Chain A
């Protein structure tokens, strides 16, 4: 995508912004799908681009536009989790939370054939987020900690447990 489209979009050119959208939509959609699940992915993707339009003036070019947009998307998705969050799904407030994965849900799903998408949906939002950001998107624990407002140690702990849970769930598929 030409650099000019971001510049033009920053100046209010909606046609240029549509080109920006077309260039980045799939990546953002898949990020949303992995972090929040397929049901929420469409709406979150739209939310991300609406937010991007509103915040474009703040894009200073310190990072690439793709990086800026990706980080914005992560924040929008996490904001959604927090809005919807209950005490049980409170975001990483307790590093042990992932251990608290509902036994009923586990029993219910263990005998089902599932791919990684289905398996990851068995995790609490926090553990799923850490797994996707770290193992799929390549964020470091320090960065994840900054995004989520937790320590790097908590992020590591969540990742360790998320991996353990996912291995169990995936092996059941084999």
Chain B
């Protein structure tokens, strides 16, 4: 990644240390704007809210099929990512070592622990609702939901284990966040279904 590289590490013949250009680049001062540019930026920002989650309505068989597909794909990619982990660790550690400290990784990498508390709280709430309302669902429906939740939990657990070995792996972090979001979606659909009396 660009910001972690150091001068002279690119693929062109590097400049010699005593090259006048090399010295000039080394002395090229960082400057700050004479005025605060933020007001000019802020005045041009359009009000923007997070895109509203589109409301989908699925039948239970569709839900079950989607969850099964997710789990199959998730297991496969987790396995693949875990297999590639050593090479990625090497590449990423090189990049990080040249730039930011590992703990200061910015933006792109969502840490595995990100929003753990909120996620757990939401899952606990939804699971409680589902427990309270489960009698309103057909037992076969409950079975399918529970089976799929269990499978997603396995996918989450696998991603967590892979992240233990490679905590900075952006893909695994993204995959974990995705799996957790899907678990919440499934729980929400299930509780909505239960609240509606299983219809």
| Chain A residues proximal to chain B, CB less than 8 Å | 1, 3-4, 6-7, 10-12, 14, 17-18, 21-23, 25-27, 29-30, 33-34, 41-42, 45-46, 49-50, 53-54, 57, 59-71, 115-117, 119, 134-142, 156, 159, 163, 166-167, 170-171, 174
Binds A, one of B37-45, B55-63, B151-159: B37-45
Binds A, one of B4-12, B71-79, B121-129: B4-12
Instruction: Supply 14 further A-B pairs (C-beta < 8 A) apart from A4-B114, A64-B107.
Output: A29-B37, A30-B30, A45-B37, A60-B174, A61-B170, A61-B174, A63-B108, A66-B3, A71-B2, A119-B24, A134-B10, A135-B12, A138-B5, A142-B11
State the Cβ distance, B23 to closest chain A Cβ, in Å.
9
B106 touches A29 (CB 8 A): no
Main secondary structure of the interface of B (DSSP, over half): loop
CA distance A63 to B45 in the complex (A): 24
CA distance A159 to B12 in the complex (A): 9
Q: How large is the interface on B (under 10, 10 to 19, 20 to 34, 35 or more residues)?
A: 35 or more
Tell me which of B10, B42, B107, B170 contacts A18 (CB under 8 A): B42
A18 touches B3 (CB 8 A): no
Tell me which of B24, B105, B106 contacts A170 (CB under 8 A): B24
Tell me which of A17, A25, A116, A138 contacts B28 (CB under 8 A): A116
B32 an interface residue at 8 Å Cβ cutoff? Answer: yes
State the Cβ distance, B111 to closest chain A Cβ, in Å.
6
B48 an interface residue at 8 Å Cβ cutoff? Answer: yes
Q: Cβ of A33: which chain B residues have Cβ within 8 Å of it?
A: 31
| Chain B residues proximal to chain A, CB less than 8 Å | 1-3, 5-7, 9-12, 15, 19-21, 24-25, 27-28, 30-35, 37-38, 40-42, 44-51, 105-111, 114, 170, 173-174
Mind listing 18 A-B residue pairs with CB under 8 Å? A3-B109, A4-B114, A26-B30, A33-B31, A42-B34, A50-B44, A50-B45, A53-B45, A64-B109, A65-B108, A135-B7, A135-B12, A136-B28, A137-B2, A137-B5, A140-B11, A141-B12, A174-B20
Q: Cβ of B12: which chain A residues have Cβ within 8 Å of it?
A: 134-135, 141, 156, 159
A138 touches B106 (CB 8 A): no
